[in-house]
Amino acid sequence: MKKLRFLPLIMAVLLLFTSVSPCAFALEAPVLNSARSVILTDADSGRILYSENAYTRSEPASLTKVMTLLLAVEAIENNNASLDDSVTASSHCVEGIENDSSSLNIYQGETMSLEDLLYCAALASADESCNIIAEHISGSIEDFVKLMNEKAEQLGCTGTHFENTHGMPASNHYTTAYDLSLIAHEAMSHELFEKLVSTEKYAVGATNNHAKRELVNTNALLTADSPYGSKYVYEGAKGIKTGHTQAAGLCLMTSAERNGIDVICVVLGASGDSATESYDSFNDTITLLDWVFDNFSYRCLASQEDIVGTQPVINGDRQGKINLYPTEALNALVPKDINVYQLKKEITLYSDSVENTSSGAELGEMTLFDDNGNELGTVKLVAKGNIIYEQTSPDETEVPSASISGMQKNAIFIAAAILALVVFLVILAAVRKVRFVKARRAGKR
């Protein structure tokens, strides 16, 4: 029973270690229902936060329209087109479109503004509007599709080839979740594009041969009035696009932001059941979004106060070194339980040695990696303080700058806390022993 008297003390020690030591628990992967291919990325850096089969060739369905809209937006930004352009559908507007295509029944001869056509493609996913946009921008659908493939290559898409503007199945029309995330990152960097895909409802006025059209965004994360039902509305969702064909399954490209965390998610090949109004493109997307918002945060991985390395210095026949610091704080979206003190770092010096450098000189860069080798960020390194020379006489000794890095401060704090607790435990044990001896003597009397 005497041993049990020290159990609270032992528990206190363990509690201290768990409270001051960084967590080292592995983050569990999200459990998805049916999506065949997914990717979740940081919208700021493009860094992959989670993926499954992200490089597997897949049917993009109407996610193709993201590229169509992006090229139209760029044409407008470059003054090669205008939202106010009056556009008349040609006989090619139904090219590649089948009976089960998404359509707003825009036929040859109908005229509307380019802005209206963009909303028809973005919200109602009208296939014919994409062909009309393509002809207006490039003169022909064929030339526009060439532009789509050139843009994909420019963005670094190595697993993508477009054969049409809308996403109906074709033998040489394919992409990957990873490539779609690259396209989404570029598209969402354009203000007009973001406005188009985040709009919940839009009215197209009556045209020369059609009554007024009321458009509702097909993205159920954005609006309860979506054709997919009202149960998927998600706080922080900003777009982007739904897609579905029998070959592609249910597809969804999403941008969402909460508490300063901005991500882009692509889900391909999911299942759905209209009878129960359960659609895994939304279910799996919500699972991924909840996972990142619950488990990730922006962390400072290296501050401007951290000494992260040294630069060898040669001054005549004297050799020394100078401390290197990040030029700015390196922040990244990482799991909340990551141990920032154990991240792998790779320091690249611009020169093996320098001559008599001074404080403030930019001398290299540092890249940090997580345990899986994923790059977390890169920051430039500058010299700070005085040169520390080797084998100098007392009169020649350079005094290094007396700075303590953030990591050193944490280590000192932890050591001091542990030392204080040990001293406390020793004193407490001594007091208890004295009381025990006194009580024993009193009992003998």
Tokens representing 257 are: 């932001």
Residues 253 and 321 in one domain: no
Residues 234 and 358 in one domain: no
Give the separation between CA 45 and CA 421, rounded to whole angstroms.
43
Within a domain: 358: yes
Domain boundaries, position 360 = 303-403
- Which residue in 165, 103, 161 sits closest to 134, CA to CA? 165
Within a domain: 419: no
Residues 74 and 134 in one domain: yes
Assign residue 240 the CATH number of its domain: 3.40.710.10
Within a domain: 64: yes
Residues 366 and 387 in one domain: yes
The total of structural domains in the chain comes to: 2
Tokens representing 180 are: 């779609």
Within a domain: 390: yes
Specify which residues 41 forms β-bridges with: 48, 264
Last residue of a domain, one of 255, 271, 295: 295
CA dihedral 326, 327, 329, 333 (to 10 degrees): -80
Contact present, 60 and 183 (Cβ < 8 Å): no
Give the separation between CA 116 and CA 197, rounded to whole angstroms.
13
Residues 387 and 330 in one domain: yes
Residues 254 and 359 in one domain: no
Within a domain: 22: no
Q: Are strands 37-42 and 201-204 parallel, antiparallel or unpaired?
A: unpaired
Report DSSP state, residue 161: B
Residues 260 and 387 in one domain: no
Residues 232 and 320 in one domain: no
Give the separation between CA 307 and CA 329, rounded to whole angstroms.
12
Q: For the chain, what is the largest distance between any 2 Cα atoms, rounded to a whole number of angstroms?
A: 116
User: Which helix (H) or strand (E) element contains residue 213?
Assistant: strand 213-216
Residues 285 and 342 in one domain: no
Q: Each residue's pLDDT tens digit in the chain (445 positions)?
A: 444 454 454 444 444 444 443 333 468 899 999 999 999 999 999 999 999 999 999 999 999 999 999 999 999 999 999 999 999 999 999 988 887 788 999 999 999 999 999 999 999 999 999 999 999 999 999 999 999 999 999 999 999 999 999 999 999 999 999 999 999 999 999 999 999 999 999 999 999 999 999 999 999 999 999 999 999 999 999 999 999 999 999 999 999 999 999 999 999 999 999 889 999 999 999 999 999 999 999 999 999 999 999 999 988 888 899 999 999 999 999 999 888 888 899 999 999 888 877 788 899 999 999 877 888 999 999 999 888 887 654 444 444 444 444 555 555 667 777 877 777 777 877 777 777 766 666 655 5
Residues 148 and 204 in one domain: yes
Whole-model pTM over 0.75: yes
Within a domain: 11: no
Residues 153 and 44 in one domain: yes
Specify which residues 174 forms β-bridges with: 161
Within a domain: 101: yes
Which amino acid is residue 391, in one-letter code?
Q
